[in-house]
Structure 1
Amino acid sequence: MENGAKKWGFQAKKGQNPTAAAAAISVRGVLNRLAENLNKEDKRQVIPLAHGDPSVFPCFRTTPVADEAIVDAVRSAKYNHYAPTVGLLPARRAVADYLNRDLPYKLSADDVFLTLGCVQAIEIVIAALARPSANILLPRPCFPHYDARSAYSCLEVRYFDLLPEKGWEADLEAVEALADENTVAMVIINPGNPTGSVYSYQHLEKVAETARKLGIMVISDEVYDHLTFGSAPFVPMGVFASTVPVLTLGSISKRWIVPGWRMGWLVTNDPNGILQDSGVVDSIKNCLNISSDPPTFIQAALPQLIENTKGDFFSKIINILREAAAICYGKIQDIPCITCPSKPEGSMFVMVKLNLSLLEGIEDDLDFCLKLAKEESVMVLPGITVGMKNWLRITFAIEPSALEVGLERLKVFNERHAKKQ
């Protein structure tokens, strides 16, 4: 270097970098690529069918009760301080009471740990369980943050398939074949992201029995709890905690339509004390001690928000999602290049299979989505992001009129690229 200066002693990590690889196909990473590919000359509204954040649409606005709870907490000037690493006690108690509505036993505040959204709950769980030679069983398809954080923590991932012909139920025979003495847990996401499935009591019971047989815990991602609009009601995995220990992950992000508030939880459903005796609870607390906390004033708002939200708000959201899911499923039938194995019954998504043999000039699902964004200003998530190459994840949690426009553009895109007979 000039003037005899010492060579800089830092540089970005080179070579194989699993974290960078995971980030490249993360939801945010792919959304950024799609946004960069939009045609700036196209003055039409961009239709966001790629992510689960409906909060920008007026019909999905959160309840005034939530707004008032936040305002009251801020104006009180009582919550400008640091919170305990596990979360404020009244907030933890409120989450326990909320979950207890659906459980055959009672959680206490000590079972609840508050996190920066469900994403941080995932990060804490993975960090708490990671150890040399350990592995975790993830569904395929799966919310990609599980893969990314497992790579970051050097926790081996093994995938079991979800079966589209069986309503995206877990292939439990595959779970048994994959597990060994180093398997620590299996993950289920119910209601399903990205599948739109809702698991029956009977299937969840089989999941619990399988996990018990294998001596592993179940991590149950229930961030879309109660967002169901088909024939199957939501059943929390914690119902089966007397059979197998369950870590439940959740948040207010989706049911209250406030993903930007980053208020989530990690809950130990463990009436037999197995997680405590094995040191998992202490490991969770240790991870929280070196992590960031959700904002104190939002924690303080939780009791008021949960207690005062009326059923008509939830019913309105469910009715909109039901209508949107029906529109989405119906419109998909008119688009030859994609097929939907089952009508979504929960969450905000549906998975559709891409038939490349009917298209010209399209290499794979990512290429499809990049060209769709450029040509039609419609953003859809490629299946590779959730572990299913040449599938697509479509979000229907947007204004129904915008959803119809987006799917009509998708049909036009199909016609433009259809293989000539």
Structure 2
Amino acid sequence: MRTIRPSSGLANVRYEIRGDLARRANEMERMGHDIIALNIGNPGVFGFRTPETMRLAMIENLRSSEAYCHQKGIFPAREAVVMQQQSRGVRGVTAEEVYMGNGVSELIDLVLRALLSTDDEVLVPSPDYPLWTAAVNLNRGRAVHYPCRPENGFEPDPKDIEALITSRTRAIVVINPNNPTGAVYSRATLEAIARIAEKHHLVVFSDEIYDQILYDNAEFVPMATLVHGTLCATLSGLSKVYRACGYRVGWVSFSGEVEPAREYLAALDKLSSLRLCSNVPGQWAVQTALGGYQSIYELTRPGGRLFQSRKAILDGVAASKYLQVCAPRGAIYAFIGIKEGVLPEFSDQQFAMDLLQHKHVLLAPGTSFNAPYKTHFRITNLPTSEVIADVFGRVEELLDSYASGAEPATRAPALKMVRS
């Protein structure tokens, strides 16, 4: 039979968060094993609920959701995004500069597809959320990674960024609060990046999906409040702050130098039209979400579930002979590393597979996020603190076996996660 081969355009596309490890975990579950899956930030799986008011807003507007809407989205949703941006000090945004999408994931693809020509370059953080790198490559561009070093708290150095700019550079991606590291960038760093973008006429893509998930009085600074002399695209959505991943509702709003970008926005409008529109029922939840009570703060303050689970991660690392971490100040992850010199042969991919096979815990290796080193892994703080404590016990057992040269022992079934 003739072999059907995939597109060569996928050669440089990686998304290992749902890759071989996740497929092996599915096989093990079908064999009857209980797997603690910490590879994806999916709040609903861990018992978090979308606010009731958002569900009611969808139900009450179902009759208005059966037809296609405008390709940019329904007006109340877009206007709610405008109001949020204005309340944050962003100037010049109207509903015409807001596009609704099937989650931020779809919009990442669309905003890059509308911008890039063959071999155009986009500056992307390393480590990054790998969809950004993948989407650049899929849309004929080249992702150029700027370092966010562990020793600097995973915050980028603007000098490193500017040194990578060439005549082919079209845009810079900022992920703040950061996935996978949990870093929250300082105002000074963001201001420096904004000035670099303006100086070199780069589009700024600011991924702010975790904008209200903050700990220990961390300050979130919206990038659009700092970028004035070039185009700034702010991307966010309902998935994380509002625990509504399955609604598939995201948005991108444009600010800064909008007028010189009208041809680009017209191209984005064309792409939005080609997919007709995004999920209409979910869009009816946006106005209620952004304008209503922000229940996320109950989860992130001391005593709240996300805060306590994050604390359990920090406690687990502190008790370990092998681990270290920059305490995450935002988002729902920690990017944990191996202490220098303690396990010189450590491989994040092998560790992740061994942890799954022998300890029944699934997490994401650091190289999945385009990190140039093999010493880190990402864990989410969505489970309860009890489950996280159990996970760290299993991690320490595996690392002990590495240190002693013994064969890893397989543990008993994992604690069940509380679901509701």
**TM-score computed with the length of structure 1 as normaliser:** 0.89
Task: Map Cα deviations across residues 343-375 of structure 1 (whole Å, 9 max, x no partner).
Answer: 100001111223596459x76211110110111
Which residue of the other structure, out of 23, 38, 44, is the alignment partner of 1:55?
A: 44
Shift of 1:407: 1.8
- 1:317-357: CA deviation from partner (whole Å, max 9, x where unpaired): 223222221210121122233321x1100001111223596
Deviates more, 1:402-411 or 1:344-353: 402-411
Corresponding residue number in structure 2 for 1:274: 260
Report the secondary structure of 1:22's partner residue.
coil
Q: Is the 8 A contact 1:142 1:386 kept in 2?
A: yes
Question: How many residues get paired?
Answer: 401
Which residue in the other structure is 2:308 paired with?
A: 323
Cα-to-partner distance string for 1:223-260 (whole Å, 9 max, x where unaligned):
11111112321111010132432111111100000111
Q: 1:62 to 1:215 in 2, by over 3 A?
A: same
2:22 to 28, 32, 54: 32
Cα distance in 2 for residues equivalent to 1:216 and 1:106: 19
Q: In the alignment, which residue of structure 2 is the partner of 1:3? A: none
Deviation at 1:302, TM superposition (A): 2.1
C-alpha contact (below 8 Å) 1:376/1:409 kept by paired residues: yes
Cα RMSD over matched residues?
A: 2.3
Q: Does 1:418 align with 2:403?
A: yes
1:240 to 1:34, Cα distance in 2 relative to 1, 3 A: farther
Q: For the structure 1 residues 41 and 80, does the alpha-carbon distance in structure 2 shift closer, same or farther, using more than 3 Å as the test?
A: closer
Counterpart of 1:11, as a letter, is I
> Do 2:242 and 2:289's aligned partners in 1 also have CA atoms closer than 8 Å?
no
List alignment gaps of at least 5 residues for structure 2.
407-420
Say if 1:30 and 1:385, in contact at 8 Å, map to a contact too.
no
Identity percentage of aligned residues: 24
Q: 1:365 and 2:330 equivalent?
A: no
Q: Is the counterpart of residue 46 in structure 1 residue 39 in structure 2?
A: no
- Return the letter of the residue paired with 1:66: M
Residue by residue, what CA displacement relative to the aligned partner does 1:39-64 show, whole Å, maximum 9, x if unpaired?
Answer: 76675x42222111121223x22211
1:302-317 to 2 correspondences below 5 Å? 302-307=286-291, 309-311=292-294, 313-317=295-299
2:86 equivalent to 1:100: yes
**Out of 1, 8, 13, which is 1:22 matched to?**
13
Q: Please tell me whether residue 160 in structure 1 is matched to residue 151 in structure 2.
A: no
Q: Distance in 1 between matches of 2:297 and 2:119?
A: 46
Query: Matched residues in 2 for 1:28 and 1:324: separation?
Result: 23
Amino acid at match of 2:390: V
| In 1: Cα distance, 2:21 partner to 2:225 partner | 36
Task: State whether residues 29 and 35 of structure 2, in contact with CA within 8 Å, keep that contact through their aligned partners in structure 1.
Answer: no
Deviation at 1:84, TM superposition (A): 1.3
Tell me how far apart the structure 2 counterparts of residues 124 and 41 of structure 1 sit (CA, whole Å). 39
Report the CA distance between 1:105 and its aligned residue: 2.1
Aligned to 2:384, which of 388, 393, 399?
399
Unaligned runs of 5+ in 1: 1-6
1:153-206 Cα distance to aligned partner (Å, 9 max, x none): 110111110122222211222211111121100101000001101112221111
The 1:34/1:227 distance shift into structure 2, 3 A limit, reads: farther
Letter aligned with residue 61 of structure 1: R
- Offset of residue 275 of structure 1: 2.3
Contact 1:136 1:183 in 2 (8 A): yes
1:72 aligned to 2:60?
yes
Matched, 1:248 2:230: no
Query: In the superposition, relative to structure 1, how do residues 331 and 187 fare at CA in structure 2: closer, same or farther (>3 Å)?
Result: same
Query: C-alpha displacement at 1:274, in angstroms?
Result: 3.3
Instruction: Report how far residue 31 of structure 1 moved.
Output: 4.8
Distance 1:414 1:402, change over 3 A: same
Residue 275 of structure 2 corresponds to which residue in structure 1?
291
Relative to structure 1, is the Cα distance of residues 301 and 104 closer, same or farther in structure 2, using a 3 angstrom cutoff? closer
Q: Return the match for 2:5 from 12, 15, 21.
A: 12
Cα separation, 1, equivalents of 2:394 and 2:403: 14
The one-letter code sitting in structure 1 at the alignment partner of 2:138 is: Y
Q: How far apart are residue 32 of structure 1 and its match?
A: 2.4
1:384 aligned to which of 351, 362, 367: 367
Whether 1:137 and 2:127 are equivalent positions in the alignment is no
- Secondary structure of the corresponding residue to residue 170 of structure 1: coil
Structure 1 residues 396 and 292: CA distance shift in structure 2, 3 A: farther
TM-score using structure 2 length: 0.89
Q: Does 1:337 align with 2:318?
A: no
